């Protein structure tokens, strides 16, 4: 039932609770300082309405805003009671892949690089302004707010250009919120060969691909960004690649600092990441053949 373009629902489901790390050596052993990702402190089973959460951002200590792949609907979710507080259709159906909050404004990313700006999410009028960013990639899946530089970061899931020289490169562009303009060049460029080298040096076991019996096994790293977020305390960039079951941490110059191997039984398809101001992290999993989940991992300080 629509009232002023709002749909109100209250789907409540039960929550489960669960209760330092150096470099990662084994898949599920050593952990990043401050987090134990493979033992979440809280596991919320989401309602079937949220089977494909593709992006999330926190609004306050108990509420997040999230979007679903393929649906132009904005969800406000109460994590204290594990309920949808309300849901709002902001645009027609499409491939929506990221959401970020800047003060009272919400930005939603469609995979083709289009941004939808909702100036004040607390008002009843959530009709967005659309912004063509001009991101060169046609498949983009990560969006977050970089407060220090007053810009949005847009992560390209696919290559930004054709040709073998771009095959093993991934990029993040910046959308300047004051100038309302996309950066001419990527602000981050990730070299997969360098990241593979780092992984091997740290004892990360990547899957291998052997084309011919006599050839050396080639480590496989697809590095398909599914979500990004900047840590509110350390100011590091966190990047999820759901297909690899990996979480990457970079400094803001793009230098890799850590790779976390995510337990596939806990993170079947991690598509959303966001932080609370105290550093606690939320990660959402699409359902696939399981139930959709929202995981909260407590921050213990660096």
| pLDDT tens, residue by residue, 118-159 | 999 988 778 899 999 999 988 999 999 999 999 999 999 977
Residue 174 lies in a domain: yes
Asked whether the predicted pLDDT for residue 112 surpasses 80, the reply is: yes
Phi, psi of 190 (to 5 degrees): -105, 125
* Residues 227, 154: Cα–Cα separation, whole Å: 10
**pLDDT-derived band of residue 207, with 50, 70 and 90 as boundaries?**
confident
Owning domain of residue 49 = 6-297
170 located within any domain? yes
| Cα 75 to Cα 65, 71, 247, 293, distances in angstroms | 6, 10, 25, 15
- Mean pLDDT over 264-277 rounds to 96
Q: What pLDDT, on the 0 to 100 scale, is given for residue 161?
A: 67
Supply 2's token pair: 């629509």
User: Which residues are 296's β-sheet partners?
Assistant: 42, 282
The encoded tokens of residue 210 equal 């052997």
Q: What is the CATH number of the domain that holds 80?
A: 2.120.10
41 DSSP 8-state letter: S
pLDDT at 250 over 50: yes
Structural domains counted in the chain: 1
Sort 3 into a burial class: Cβ within 10 Å, 0-12 / 13-18 / 19+: exposed
Is 302 within a domain? no
Per-residue confidence (pLDDT) for residue 40, from 0 to 100: 97
Share of the chain above pLDDT 90, in %: 73
Kindly state whether residue 123 falls inside one of the protein's structural domains.
yes
Asked, for residue 1, whether it belongs to a domain, the answer is no
> Could you read off the pLDDT of 281-294 as tens digits, one per residue?
999 999 988 899 99
């Amino acid at each position: 039932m629509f009232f002023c373009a709002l749909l109100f629902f209250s789907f409540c489901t039960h929550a489960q609770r669960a209760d330092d790390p150096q470099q990662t050596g084994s898949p599920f052993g050593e952990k990043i300082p401050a987090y134990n990702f493979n033992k979440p402190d809280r596991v919320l089973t989401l309602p079937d309405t949220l089977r494909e959460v593709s992006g999330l951002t926190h609004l306050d200590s108990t509420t997040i805003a999230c979007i679903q792949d393929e649906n132009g609907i904005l969800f406000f979710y109460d994590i204290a009671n594990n309920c949808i507080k309300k849901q709002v259709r902001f645009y027609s159906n499409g491939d929506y892949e990221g959401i970020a909050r800047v003060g009272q404004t919400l930005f939603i990313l469609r995979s083709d690089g289009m941004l939808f700006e909702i100036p004040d999410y607390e008002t009843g009028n959530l009709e967005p302004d659309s912004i063509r960013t001009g991101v060169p990639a046609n498949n983009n899946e990560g969006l977050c707010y970089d407060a220090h530089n007053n810009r949005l970061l847009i992560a390209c899931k696919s290559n930004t250009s054709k040709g073998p020289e771009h095959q093993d490169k991934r990029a993040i562009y910046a959308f300047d919120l004051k100038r309302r303009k996309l950066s001419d060049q990527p602000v981050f460029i990730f070299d997969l060969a360098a990241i593979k080298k780092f992984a091997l040096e740290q004892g990360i076991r990547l899957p291998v691909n052997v084309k011919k019996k006599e050839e050396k096994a080639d480590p496989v790293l697809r590095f398909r960004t599914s979500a990004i977020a900047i840590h509110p305390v350390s100011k590091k960039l966190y990047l999820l690649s759901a297909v690899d079951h990996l979480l990457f941490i970079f400094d803001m110059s793009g230098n890799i600092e850590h790779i976390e191997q995510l337990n596939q039984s806990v993170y079947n398809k991690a598509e959303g990441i966001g932080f609370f101001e105290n550093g606690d992290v939320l990660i959402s999993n699409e359902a696939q053949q399981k139930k959709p989940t929202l995981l909260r991992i407590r921050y213990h300080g660096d």
